[in-house]
């Protein structure tokens, strides 16, 4: 399949390009034809265009890691004129932008995921399943560690895991989430989902979800070892999406069939 990468100059775009170009055996079904960028960086060694029409014309499908405005613009153009499949990991969309993507997904195949990691998406399903089966006598605690440059806390992935746990228990996440504990009167309440955050060094991302029972503990754990995990997940998603019909916005849970 002929693929174009939108956001080719970005951190993930570059990892994606290197992964495909440097592993031709593993990705022999993928022909990386174009990058879309606002400017063509001289070190990219790939055809780069800033023209979205040229971009869509030459590809079967698009993988996008860019900015919300760009993703929405591409989805709408694709819908109007091209009908190509789109995988996007772009985050930070507001409600109106998500609505626009939902509308576009009625007409062209789109898969969007805030976290493209196969492991994290599987972990979410396992957390949901565990929370549904283990009662409130099992205390759920989520611990995450990231590099010292990360600004937000807890991580989006930790929140995704917390929401999966709340879904499993059929409770509203925001009613039971507790973000950090400090002080003389912070006794744990039944049903809380607690978050603990560490920041330091160059840790790409580590997440533990623990279920503490009276006589046993279960911990489900994920560690990111390389930023390529997002790129690998996006390619997995593209391979799954390429023959799917439009009609609804797909997620990584769909691609993993979980």
Ligand X SMILES: NC(=O)c1ccc[n+]([C@@H]2O[C@H](COP(=O)([O-])OP(=O)(O)OC[C@H]3O[C@@H](n4cnc5c(N)ncnc54)[C@H](OP(=O)(O)O)[C@@H]3O)[C@@H](O)[C@H]2O)c1
Q: Using DSSP bridges, classify how beta strands 193-199 and 177-179 pair: parallel, antiparallel or unpaired.
A: parallel
Q: Does 113 engage in binding with ligand X (CB under 6 A)? A: yes
Min CB(42)–ligand X separation in Å:
13
Instruction: Select from 36-44, 135-143, 179-187, 238-246 the region that touches ligand X (CB under 6 A).
Output: 36-44
Q: Beta-strand (E) ranges in the chain?
A: 2-6, 31-36, 48-49, 61-64, 85-88, 110-112, 139-146, 177-179, 193-199, 206-212, 217-223
Least distance between ligand X and beta carbon 90 (Å): 4
Tell whether residue 147 is a contact of ligand X (CB under 6 A).
no
Q: Is 112 one of the catalytic residues?
A: no
- Asked if 39 touches ligand X (CB under 6 A), the answer is yes
Q: How far is the CB of 233 from ligand X (least distance, A)?
A: 6
| Residue 149 backbone dihedrals phi, psi, to 5 degrees | -90, -5
For the beta carbon of residue 12, count every other beta carbon within 10 angstroms: 22
Has 150 been annotated as catalytic? Answer: yes
Question: Could you identify the residue written with the tokens 């956001």?
Answer: 7
Site membership for ligand X, residue 89 (CB under 6 A): yes
- Name the site residues for ligand X (rule: CB under 6 A): 6-7, 9-13, 36-39, 65-67, 70, 89-92, 113-116, 230
């Amino acid at each position: 399949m002929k693929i174009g990468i939108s956001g080719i100059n970005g951190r993930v775009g570059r990892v994606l390009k290197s992964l495909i170009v440097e592993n031709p055996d593993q990705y022999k079904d993928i022909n990386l034809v174009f990058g879309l960028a606002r400017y063509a960086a001289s070190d990219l060694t790939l055809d780069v265009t800033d023209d979205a029409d040229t971009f869509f014309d030459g590809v079967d499908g698009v993988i996008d890691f860019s900015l919300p405005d760009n993703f929405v613009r591409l989805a709408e153009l694709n819908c109007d004129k091209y009908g190509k499949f789109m995988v996007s990991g772009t985050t930070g969309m507001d409600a109106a932008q998500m609505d626009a993507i939902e509308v576009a997904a009625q007409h062209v195949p789109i898969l969007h995921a805030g976290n493209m990691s196969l492991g994290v998406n599987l972990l979410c399903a396992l957390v949901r399943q565990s929370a549904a089966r283990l009662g409130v006598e099992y205390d759920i605690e989520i611990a995450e560690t990231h590099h010292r440059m990360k600004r937000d806390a807890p991580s989006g992935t930790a929140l995704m895991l917390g929401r999966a746990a709340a879904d499993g228990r059929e409770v509203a996440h925001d009613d039971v989430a507790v973000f950090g504990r400090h002080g003389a009167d912070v006794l744990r309440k039944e049903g809380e989902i607690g978050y603990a955050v560490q920041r330091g060094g160059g840790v790409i991302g580590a997440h533990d979800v623990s279920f503490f029972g009276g006589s046993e503990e279960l911990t489900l754990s994920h560690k990111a070892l390389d930023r390529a995990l997002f790129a690998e997940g996006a390619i997995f998603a593209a391979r799954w999406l390429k023959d799917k019909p439009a009609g609804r916005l797909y997620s990584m849970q769909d691609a993993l069939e979980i």
